[in-house]
Amino acid sequence: MSEKELALKSVEYRKKILKYIYQAKAGHTGGSLSCIDILNVLYNYTMHVDASHFDSPDRDRYIQSKGHTVEALYVVLASRGFFPESDLETLCKYQSHYIGHPTRKVHGVEQNTGALGHGLSLSVGAAIAAKLDKRDYRVFTVLGDGELPEGSNWEAALSASHYKLDNLCAILDKNTLQITGPTSAVCNTDPVDDKFEAFGWAVRHVDGHDIGELMAAFDALPFEKDKPSLIIAHTVKGKGVSYMENQLKWHHGVPDKQQYAAAIQELDLLEETFS
Amino acid sequence: MDATIENIAVSQRANLEVFSGTLQQLAQTDRDIIVVTSDSRGSGKLVPFGQKFPEQIIEVGIAEQNLVGVSAGLASAGKKVFAVSPACFLTARALEQIKNDVAYSNNPVKLIGISAGVSYGALGSTHHSLHDFAVLRTINNLIVVAPADNFETEQAILLAAETDIPVYIRFGKKQMPLLSEDEKTFEFGKGRIVRQGSDLTIIGTGEAVAPALLAAEKLGLEHNISATVVSMHTIKPLDYDLLRKIAATGRPIVTVEEHSVYGGLGEACASFLIQNNFCNRFKIIGIPDEYTVTGSQTEIFNHYGISEEGIAAAALGLGK
């Protein structure tokens, strides 16, 4: 997909995220909207993975460490043909596999996540396996900035550089808000670039909503030979819906009928600018 | 000379050594065998493994959460992963990784809890694992195993390597006797009868089976009581068929384990029995809910009756 096609796709994804969260009356709205451009570029541009060859040992892996923004992952996987989008009508319903965090019951999901601070270790393991087997696949994981105080992240960060995992790329969805408030006020992890660099990673900053910047960053992987790569994606919680942007209440806020209509109207207008 | 664990164990090895030897044997023909350690290759007797198969050992340093997460990631890519760490740290510090990354995600890691129970003796409670059966029993999609002797340990490791669901295996570092020359079948979820008797049954697990066997001998010699001894090496899934047969005799049952009396083998058996309308006289021997007494493993065993004397006394207390 071209940069323009990807940008249009992001608008479509945002509408679908809102639709299914609105229907289910549950979901992590703000974070799904902050990481959707990253997932869009990963699945539609960067990663070698597809629904019909998901069992291939050579596929690129994506492990979502911030599992709670699963709605973003669901809409991307559906559009990539991993399952019919109509399955999402069952989101969070009794006996549905489409629950509020990723599970392998859903085709396309690599790992069951949701408890925070797990994705990086899982990714390190998969990346070491690639090196052992001399396979070329890469491992991608999206971390939330709110989960960084989990100590397991830093244990994994050490292993990633120790084993020179330049086939591993973590993307930090740095939307700067978590359920209690600004991440800087809850437990400041800045300067996070210096920390990861000190842990032996190669780090780049991007605007996490700029499709071109994301594409260029992924194209440049690995940033340094023998080092794991971290992309710090500066994002906006609730991105794309003006009344949600940077508003804490939309961490897991669910729009009512009027709010939903207003959000869709806003995104429709944005979509029209592409034609 | 009275029979003791020590003098009948002379020709046997610690289960830990058997584990290490078996892994080396497996790794010789299978490059997918991977050991992951948290600065635990020495305590896991894995130094020779690391020397022979340097590409098949992954060291993460003292970081048990990462140990289990990395192991799960490796297993997801088809590796046969043995995550090796002292049972106390592995099953407490990394419990969430065991629950989510291994069991829930169904990454078939073989979790090896070394120096389990009170093997570390006088190092104290920080190093004891008296909770592992209890917590791991509640986690879906996890086999929980405590082999008693060298034979069971070897079989458990061989079987775990080829099992496609997660397994937790815990053992100690003490030399263990061979419990039975005759009973040479081993299957997860199937208890092993290591002594046949007709008056009562002692069901043990792990390193508590050896004193159970000694107690049975003592009961026979001194009290003319004939005891069956079962090595219930698999705590989950529990061998309900065997339990049903044992209970149906109506004879007393003693359970013995190197674990808290809460939530382990004894309570698992009791739960089955009471819900199936069996009213056998019943006694659980284990570590009570108190600050564990200090001392060596043997001294702690003796203190709490996980011993020839203690188990025999408990059996006598239930009546013939």
**Phi/psi of residue B141, nearest 5 degrees:** 70, 45
**Is B157 inside any structural domain?**
yes
Residues in chain B: 320
How far apart are the C-alpha atoms of A18 and A24, rounded to whole Å?
10
Residues B41 and B163 in one domain: yes
pLDDT score for B2: 43
For the segment B74-102, the average pLDDT, to the nearest whole number, is 98
Find the CB nearest B66 among A126, A129, A155. A155
Judge if B201 and B260 occupy the same domain: yes
Cβ–Cβ contact B165 with A under 8 A: no
Same domain? For B157 and B198 the reply is no
How many C-beta atoms lie closer than 10 Å to residue A271's C-beta? 15
Q: Which two tokens stand for residue B72?
A: 């799960």
Final residue of a structural domain among B101, B136, B170: B170
Spans of chain A, pLDDT less than 70? none
Residue A151 forms contact with B (CB below 8 Å): yes
Q: Does B73 touch chain A (CB under 8 A)?
A: yes
Q: Is the pLDDT of residue B4 over 70?
A: no
Sign of CA dihedral A94, A97, A101, A105: positive
∠ CA B128-B131-B136, rounded to 5°? 130
Q: Averaged over B33-45, what is the pLDDT?
A: 95
Place of tokens 């800087």: A184
Mean pLDDT of chain B: 95
Length of chain A measured in residues: 275
Do A203 and A232 contact (CB within 8 A), yes or no? yes
Which amino acid is residue A59, in one-letter code?
R
- Cβ separation B73–A133 shorter than 8 A: no
Question: CA of B71 to nearest chain A CA: how many angstroms apart?
Answer: 6
Question: B218 and B157 in one domain?
Answer: no
Report whether pLDDT(B1) > 80. no
In a domain, B225, yes or no: yes
Q: Which of A57, A104, A152 sits opposite B69 (nearest CB)?
A: A152
pLDDT-based confidence at residue B11 (cuts at 50, 70, 90): low
Per-residue pLDDT at B213 exceeds 50: yes
Whether residue A156 and residue B69 make contact (CB cut-off 8 A), yes or no, is: yes
Task: Give the pairing type, strands A139-144 and A177-178.
Answer: unpaired
User: Containing domain of residue B303, as a range?
Assistant: 192-318
Task: Write out chain B residues lying below 8 Å of A125, CB-based.
Answer: 69-77
With CA atoms as reference, report the closest residue to B113 among B57, B37, B60, B52.
B37
Does residue B184 belong to any structural domain of this protein? no
Write the single-letter amino acid at B295.
Answer: G
Q: Does A123 touch chain B (CB under 8 A)?
A: yes
Q: Chain A: give the shortest CA distance to residue B255, in Å.
A: 37
Closest CA to B206 of B184, B183, B173: B173
Q: Is A158 on the interface with B (CB under 8 A)?
A: yes
Contacts with B, A 24-53, CB within 8 Å: none
Predicted TM-score (pTM) of the model is 0.96
Residue A126 to residue B78: CA distance in whole angstroms = 9
Note whether B212 and B157 are same-domain residues. Answer: no
User: Looking at residue B291, what DSSP letter applies?
Assistant: P
CB B57 within 8 A of CB B34: yes
- B12, B175 contact by CB (below 8 A): yes
What token pair was written down for A134? Answer: 């001399």
**Contact between residue B204 and residue B229 where contact means Cβ atoms under 8 Å apart:** yes
With both helix axes pointing from N to C terminus, report the angle between B308-318 and B209-223 in degrees, rounded to the nearest 10: 60
For residue A191, whether the previous peptide bond is cis, meaning omega lies within 30 degrees of 0, is yes
| CA neighbor of A122 nearest in space, from A159, A89, A91 | A159
**Cα distance from B165 to chain A (closest Cα, Å)?**
15
Same domain, B76 and B203: no
Tell me which of B120, B135, B170 is where a domain ends.
B170
Q: What is the pLDDT of residue B320?
A: 67
CATH classification (class only), A3-272: alpha beta
User: Which residues from chain A sit within 8 angstroms of residue B69, using beta carbons?
Assistant: 118, 120-122, 124-125, 152, 156
Task: Read off the pLDDT band of B294 (50, 70, 90).
Answer: very high
Q: What is the CATH number of the domain that holds B278?
A: 3.40.50.920
CB atoms within 10 A of CB A253: 17
* Torsional class of B115: left (φ above 0), alpha (ψ -120 to 50), beta (otherwise): left
Q: Domain check: are B127 and B204 in the same one?
A: no
B187 within a domain of the structure (yes/no): no
B229: part of which helix (H) or strand (E)? strand B227-231
Shared domain for B31 and B79, answered yes or no, is yes
Q: Is residue B107 part of a domain?
A: yes
A124-164: pLDDT as tens digits: 999 999 999 999 999 999 999 999 999 999 999 999 999 99
Asked if residue B183 belongs to a domain, the reply is no
pLDDT tens, position by position, B143-191: 999 999 999 999 999 999 999 999 999 999 999 988 887 778 999 999 9
Tell me whether residue B268 is in a domain.
yes
The domain locations on chain A are 3-272
Q: Is the pLDDT of residue B3 over 50?
A: no
Distance from CA of B29 to the nearest CA of A (A): 16
Buried b (16+ CB within 10 A) or exposed e, B124-141: eeebbbbbbbbbbbebee
Q: Please name every residue paired with A272 in a beta bridge, in sequence order, or none if there are none.
A: none
Mutation target to probe the B interface, by most B beta carbons within 10 A, among A55, A59, A111, A136 is: A111
Contact yes or no for A121 and B69 at CB 8 A: yes
Could you tell me if B129 and B224 lie in one domain?
A: no
CA distance A162 to chain B (A): 9
Bridge partner residues of A141 (DSSP)? A63, A170
Please compute the mean of the pLDDT values over residues B134-148 and round it to a whole number: 98
Gap between the Cα atoms of A160 and A145, Å rounded: 18
**Number of domains comprising chain B:** 2
CATH code of the domain containing B108: 3.40.50.970
By Cβ distance, the residue of B65, B105, B107 closest to A155 is B65
Taking each helix axis as running N to C, give the angle between helix A3-24 and helix A29-41, from 0 to 180 degrees, rounded to the nearest 10.
150
Per-residue pLDDT at B254 exceeds 50: yes
Of B115, B136, B170, which marks where a domain is finished? B170
Q: What is the pLDDT of residue A235?
A: 98
- Give the residue from A118, A131, A163 with the most B CB atoms within 10 Å of its CB, the best one to mutate: A118
Smallest Cα distance from A156 to chain B, Å: 6
Question: Of the candidates A104, A112, A118, which has its C-beta nearest B69's C-beta?
Answer: A118
Q: What are B316's two structure tokens?
A: 């006598």
